[in-house]
Structure 1
């Protein structure tokens, strides 16, 4: 996701109870689903809100079809306050290591709590025993766009997650908020830019820490007043007086797992054995051992993690992909081979960090080509070419603390750009990956240290399908202990760039996906949902893509300038089904857009009045779909 984006509307596609489909014959069963998309917004009223007027057709076993209209309902705003015993704070306010709200003192004599305008990932957990039938929702608050004075606050302020308790109407499935509590990350040294996330097969939330701070730059700035990595500011906000000695970039860039216990309390742990890079999200495969990641940024990489034990991320083996291009049509295609980086436990890597290991403890560097040093170009160090050599005995530290740099020295492909969301199609053994902006390292670049990817420039991005296979081996011929190894990838949903903006300010075709980000797949509906993070569409959308018919339908529009985030298809929660989808930063960057179809100044004014530009966001859901309770789950292969 964009570093400057923020604000979340959790939109959930609710599928009401079987009572809602009484019009269908009693003995008929739902057999197929087809979304009918909505038009793009045309008026200031439509452009300034989150809404849907899409429908879904359900075909029954007796040949009849019924259409269901969709609608949007709100749960809460990030500025709404929740709490207990008189201690109420806004849902989007981060807390420090002592559990206190982190205050914004940017305006003298007017301290206010920071409130994130960037709600992101959602995990709607399976019902827990002992919680009175309530559902639980884990949500990210990714960052803070601006502080109280209007200056950029991105990355300087610790981020947060919340645990919402949701009551569910037993007849209609409607969700209401019973309470929202902040999740404590003090045992993990705080939470760094949590972007997207996923629900694990064992019903825990797997979060993320995006745009990991560069340890090389941090070390170079030690002893100065510089803080370009934001680690010092982060530590001062989070640890208070302890901040100066607690600042360490190696604590951040991992997967936080949130476990919600039957008593409704949450506990957070970080998994250091998953490697350290710009975690967009971690998506587990059906074996509860194999996982893939989005690695956001420029000159990034594709990683695969295989846990030693199912449902246990405390130790495992990490691999990096080599892309072997096979075509350029429909976005592009390639075969994937895998390079083993190493095996580690969380405890081993945590001990390295606790020992105050530095970048120069791990690598020797050169400012120019030199025998024994490898030239690499990665997201780290502002995508500059680096000449590196791993110091003797530091291979494990390099693999799990400087994962991208180490993988690049071994020859893994480091040219992916804006690698975002992931989703899983269980029945067909396919995974889906969003490349939000296919440019930069993914174009032809003969002057780079490597040029594995030579695909056409598509600024509006491509969604790829990954073929998952058993019986695969790594580069050294060793068997990979997984039946879900990505062996190839090909483009399936491709954006279309436009030469100039249309009257609504769009620079990508408005009837196609632009800059895919969040992905989620419904096994019951055989549908891939795609959420946009696009400056190329003035209003961002959520799309439904039927993987069998290839039909693409717009099903949600979020406010102009906002990003659609937090996408999650939950096919059955107590007999009802939901698709979570949030939005961030409404009104962002509209000033610079060429919009002539409506009064741009009035549009911005309306968004600021109704929601707040860079100030707040709604969490809600779209209701109106039939229950998927009786749709059988596909058999695992």
Structure 2
């Protein structure tokens, strides 16, 4: 997620929580207690780190407390295990060794950083992000990993958005007895068939076992075409030069979509970009159980809530795109409102790709006025950042809907005032979607000068996690039926942060006992728990939290290195009988220089961070172990004696 701190994502550490019950008592003792099931679970949280040696680590000393039907209460301590870092070497097909986080060009060659004359090195992303741990395919477990961006080049210049991004496919070995995960091989995924990969933020695993990636912060096609000195032009041309070897191939409409990665029985990955899903700042795409309906995060300032309904199950090649109109109903606990859905149109991937391939430009889709004018709609949305006056040219409605989805949505009356809309996850039993507003400010405040002002909520810089209630038999604004039983009808604040008037002794500007800047979300049906990862400069150390949706208890379960963002959360309830919760961290040590830290020696903290893992240099991959088997947590009628008799 980066883009000024609460807008980019940074270096990763997968924490796959291997959920295996240790033999806490002899089999005979359990057998003598009769029929024993699990009644409840509870996370016992951990304190925030207070010493330099802890502030530079990724660690957990939290635990899970399990209460059994016979009155026994057992405590299962959690611990962290590292797998690999993005700077660790992997083998290319030709045997060449490159860092795991190095991007490759259209020909599959590693992209070289020549920013320091006479000292060429590989680019290495310090921002591994999403991980999808796939269900076994052909008897093997595979993991798709995002490498979102690179913070700096070797000369210390910002490299964000100018260096092509990448993903990798890891073959994972799983210990049959303990569930321990070990990467046996890591390979780069080829995106040459879809013109490369642009800033992949978070992602999700589809119900049909494919990885749904993302392309965040789509480049502004208006600025690219009409302002040769714009950052949009610079970024896309730099990308094209590094990826294609030719900046003339730069095209902003290549990027801003959902890539789907399929892995076959031989471990080969194939990539499709789904143009019919729309082009906006995709944080991630979360599918509903009907295998047709999806909700999204649209990251940035002045963004929109979207919903997609595919024509066919497990097929994202064609569908209908909707955008939400927010009707505010309150401000309690962050805010609340009803959602009205506007149909933007129907398209297939093939149709939209054909428009892109014809070389369509922004000026082919819209007429522009420099001020208010009859027939032109005044809107404000993320990529342009200020009020613009637009009119869709005749016959270009479909291009507008699927290549300029946020602009077109705003022109039709959808709300484009959301700020830092990030992670999305789903609670199937209660039929609720959870969505993170990482920073509730900017367009979500009252702004009388904006073209529209649907949202007038309180300023909470540390953010709010919202709950969306789903139902069926709904109609869109025009009165047409929405062919989904998973339509969000309202949203209300669930968990909010607490801003501080000034920094505490550790440099925190938000209450360290509460969540600050929620980003990644993942829900475990088995644990009835919403996991929340932070992307926060308001907390010096970012955390992963567990929120029990029944008891409303919030527990800190992981601390990341100082300055690192927590990303890539994914609750995996069953892989060959073991369960995992994956989470990543990015850019360790970032922005520590500017923090007002007095509780510890800041210079010593920075030095220790550089020694421990490096600052803005690499990200890590690992997992937490120690949780009991989620298979048993899901089956309250299953006698846990059977575990110990195996």
Match of 2:141 in 1: 135
2:309 is aligned with 1:303 = no
1:30 Cα deviation (Å)?
Answer: 2.3
Deviation at 1:85, TM superposition (A): 5.0
Closer/same/farther in 2, CA of residues 231 and 344 from structure 1, 3 Å limit: same
Match of 1:9 in 2: 13
Give the secondary-structure state (helix, strand or coil) at the position aligned to 2:353: helix
TM-score (norm 2): 0.95
Secondary structure, aligned partner of 1:519: strand
2:367 to 364, 368, 388: 364
Alignment-derived partner of residue 488 in structure 1: 490
Q: Is the 8 A contact 1:18 1:627 kept in 2?
A: no
Q: Equivalent of 1:538, from 540, 561, 564?
A: 540
- For residue 226 of structure 1, report the CA deviation from its aligned partner: 7.1
Unmatched 5+ stretches in structure 1: none
Change in CA separation of 1:265 and 1:20 when aligned onto 2, cut-off 3 Å: farther
User: Residue 316 of structure 1 corresponds to which residue in structure 2?
Assistant: 319
**In structure 2, what is the equivalent of residue 232 of structure 1?**
237
Match of 1:192 among 179, 190, 198: 198
Which position in structure 2 is the counterpart of 1:622?
A: 624
- SS state at 2:109 partner: coil
Alignment of 1:113-124 (within 5 A): 113-124=122-133
Equivalent in the alignment of 2:289: 286
RMSD (Å) for aligned C-alpha atoms: 1.4
Output the CA distance in 2 between the equivalents of 1:456 and 1:257. 37
| Number of residue equivalences | 627
Q: Distance in 2 between matches of 1:493 and 1:262?
A: 42
Whether 2:160 is the aligned partner of 1:151: answer no
Shift of 1:554: 0.1
Residues 312 and 18 of structure 1: is their aligned pair in 2 closer, same or farther, counting only changes over 3 Å? farther
1:599-618 mapped onto 2 (5 Å cutoff): 599-618=601-620
* Alignment of structure 1 residues 461-610 onto 2, 5 Å: 461-610=463-612
SS at match of 1:187: helix
Report SS of the residue matched to 2:632.
Answer: coil
- CA displacement at 1:225 relative to structure 2: 9.2
Q: How far 1:630 sits from its partner (Å)? A: 3.4
Task: Give the drift of 1:72.
Answer: 0.2
Alignment of 1:247-266 (within 5 A): 247-266=250-269
Q: Which residue of 2 aligns with 1:64?
A: 72
Whole-Å Cα distance in 2 between the matches of residues 214 and 16 of structure 1? 47
- Alpha-carbon offset, residue 87 of structure 1: 1.9
Contact kept? 1:258, 1:269, Cα under 8 Å: yes
**Counterpart for residue 329 of structure 1:** 332
CA–CA separation in structure 1 for the residues paired with 2:540 and 2:278: 36
Of the structure 1 ranges 268-277 and 57-66, higher mean CA displacement relative to structure 2 is found in 57-66
- Which of 270-279 and 7-16 deviates more? 7-16
Contact 2:333-2:494 within 8 A present in 1 as well:
yes
Aligned residue for 1:230, secondary structure, equals helix
Give the structure 1 partner of residue 643 of structure 2: none
1:77-226 mapped onto 2 (5 Å cutoff): 77-83=85-91, 84-128=93-137, 130-131=138-139, 134-222=140-228
Name the CA distance, whole Å, in 1 between partners of 2:469 and 2:234: 37
Q: Distance in 1 between matches of 2:431 and 2:129?
A: 27
Taking the TM superposition and a 5 Å limit, the aligned residue runs for 1:413-424 are 413-424=415-426
Shift of 1:174: 0.7
Residue 513 of structure 1 aligns to a residue whose secondary structure is: coil
Q: Deviations over 1:64-100 (max 9, x none)?
A: 2211000000100101111255222111010000000
Deviation track 1:232-274 (CA, whole Å, cap 9, x = no partner) reads 000000001xx23321000100000010111111111100000
Q: Secondary structure at the match of 1:540?
A: strand
Structure 2 segments unaligned to the other structure (5+ residues): 637-646
CA distances 1:198-219 after superposition (whole Å, capped 9, x unpaired): 0000000000000000000000
Report the Cα distance in structure 2 between the residues aligned to 1:627 and 1:76, rounded to whole angstroms: 25
What is the rounded CA distance, in whole Å, between the counterparts of 1:5 and 1:198 in structure 2?
Answer: 16
Q: TM-score, normalised by structure 1?
A: 0.97
Q: Is the 8 A contact 1:17 1:173 kept in 2?
A: no
**Per-residue deviation, 1:6:** 1.9
Counterpart in the other structure of 2:440: 438
* Distance (Å, rounded) in 1 between the aligned partners of 2:21 and 2:270: 32
Structure 1 residues 12 and 292, CA, compared in 2 at 3 Å: closer, same or farther? same
Question: For the residues of structure 2 that align with 1:252 and 1:35, how far apart are their CA atoms?
Answer: 41
| Range that drifts further, 408-417 or 81-90 | 81-90
Query: Is the Cα contact below 8 Å between 2:307 and 2:323 reproduced in 1?
Result: yes
The alpha carbon displacement at 1:575 in A equals 0.7
Shift of the 41–269 alpha-carbon distance from structure 1 to 2, 3 Å rule, reads same
Residues 354-389 of structure 1, C-alpha deviations (whole Å, 9 max, x = no match):
1110000000010000000000000021x1100000
**Residues 385-424 of structure 1 aligned to structure 2 (within 5 Å):** 385-424=387-426
Q: Quick one: distance in 2 between partners of 1:272 and 1:333?
A: 31
